[in-house]
C-alpha cells in the first residue's frame, strides 16, 4: 500500500498545491536541471523547452496537456498513487499518461519507490513531445491492454529498459531518455559516468529476458542506435518476441536477491 495519497483535481483541471509542495518542486527541479542539460538526449531537452515548466511552483496538468496535445496528441491523466496493470495499459492505449498527483517528502528526495508527480512530469513528459517516443508508448499500451498476465510481466521489462531507464546514441555520444534516470540525480550521473553499469546494444529479446530491481542503481542499461529505433520497434511483432523470450527464459540476474542485499 502507498503511504502517499494523490491530491484531488478540480473541475478546471487544477490541483491546489501547497506552498511547501511548491518549494519541494522548486528544489527538485533546480537540483536536477543542471545534470540533465549535458546528459539528456536532444529530444528531451527540446521537449522540456516546449513544456516551459515553472520553476517556483508545481505545474498544472491542464497547462502541460495543451502542449502535449499540440505536439503528439497525448495528455496526462491524474490517478491515485497506485493503479492496476489493467488501468495502466488502458490509459497508454488511449494516449493518456498516468500521473499521481502527490509529491515526495523531503525525507525521500533522493529515492522514492513510487512514481510521484516530479518523476512523471519532469522525467517523462518532455519525451512525450517526441513523435517516435510517443508512438512507441501508445503501441506498447495497446499491446499490453490485450496481453495475458504472463506476457505483461515480460512487457514490463521492455518498459523498464526503454521508457524508464533507456539510453540512446546521439552523434556517437551516449545520452539519456529514460524518465527513471532523468528524475534521479544519483542515477543521472551513475548511468553515464560510473564504470560499473554495462551499456549493451539494444536487443528486444535480450531486454525481455533481463531481470531488474526497482530499488537499486541499474547494473545494465540498453542503448538505442537512435530514437527512430523505438518507432521501428513499435512496428515489429512484439508479442511474438515476448513469446519467444518466454521460451528462452530469463538471463541470470546481475544483482543479489533483495533479502540478501538488505542484510548487508
199 is annotated as contributing to ligand binding: no
What is the spatial distance between Cα 16 and Cα 7, in angstroms, rounded to a whole number? 8
Beta strand residue intervals within 53-212, DSSP E: 75-79, 96-100, 167-170, 173-176, 198-201
Three cell numbers, residue 222: 540498453
Looking up cell 528531451 gives 44
Cβ burial 130-142 (10 Å sphere, 16+ → b, else e): bebbbbbbbbbbb
The residues pairing with 29 across neighbouring beta strands, listed in sequence order, are none
124 is annotated as contributing to ligand binding: yes
Asked if 76 contacts 9 with a C-beta cutoff of 8 angstroms, the reply is no
Looking up cell 540478501 gives 260
Alpha helices, DSSP H, located in 9-56: 19-39, 42-51
138 is annotated as contributing to ligand binding: no
Enumerate the known binding-site residues for Fe cation.
Answer: 119, 124, 164
Enumerate the known binding-site residues.
Answer: 119, 124, 164
Amino acid at each position: 500500500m502507498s503511504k502517499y495519497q494523490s491530491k484531488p483535481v478540480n473541475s478546471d483541471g487544477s490541483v491546489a498545491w501547497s506552498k511547501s509542495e511548491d518549494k519541494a518542486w522548486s528544489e527538485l527541479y533546480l537540483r536536477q536541471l543542471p545534470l540533465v542539460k549535458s546528459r539528456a538526449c536532444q529530444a528531451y531537452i527540446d521537449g522540456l523547452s516546449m513544456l516551459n515548466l515553472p520553476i517556483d511552483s508545481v505545474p498544472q496538468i491542464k497547462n502541460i496537456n495543451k502542449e502535449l496535445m499540440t505536439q503528439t496528441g497525448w495528455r496526462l491523466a491524474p490517478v491515485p498513487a497506485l493503479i492496476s496493470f489493467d488501468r495502466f495499459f488502458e490509459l497508454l492505449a488511449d494516449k493518456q499518461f498516468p500521473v499521481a498527483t502527490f509529491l515526495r517528502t523531503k525525507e525521500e528526495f533522493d529515492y522514492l519507490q513510487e512514481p510521484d508527480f516530479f518523476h512523471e512530469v519532469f522525467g517523462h513528459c518532455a519525451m512525450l513531445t517526441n513523435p517516435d517516443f510517443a508512438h512507441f508508448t501508445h503501441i506498447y499500451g495497446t499491446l499490453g491492454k490485450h496481453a495475458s498476465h504472463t506476457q505483461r510481466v515480460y512487457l514490463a521489462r521492455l518498459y523498464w529498459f526503454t521508457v524508464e531507464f533507456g539510453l540512446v546514441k546521439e552523434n556517437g555520444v551516449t545520452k539519456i531518455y529514460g524518465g527513471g534516470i532523468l528524475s534521479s540525480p544519483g542515477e543521472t550521473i551513475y548511468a553515464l559516468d560510473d564504470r560499473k553499469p554495462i551499456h549493451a546494444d539494444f536487443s528486444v529479446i535480450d531486454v525481455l529476458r533481463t531481470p531488474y530491481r526497482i530499488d537499486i542503481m541499474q547494473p545494465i542499461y540498453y542503448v538505442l542506435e537512435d530514437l527512430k529505433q523505438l518507432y521501428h520497434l513499435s512496428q515489429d511483432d512484439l508479442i511474438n518476441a515476448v513469446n519467444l523470450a518466454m521460451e528462452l527464459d530469463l538471463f541470470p540476474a546481475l544483482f543479489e536477491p533483495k533479502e540478501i542485499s538488505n542484510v548487508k
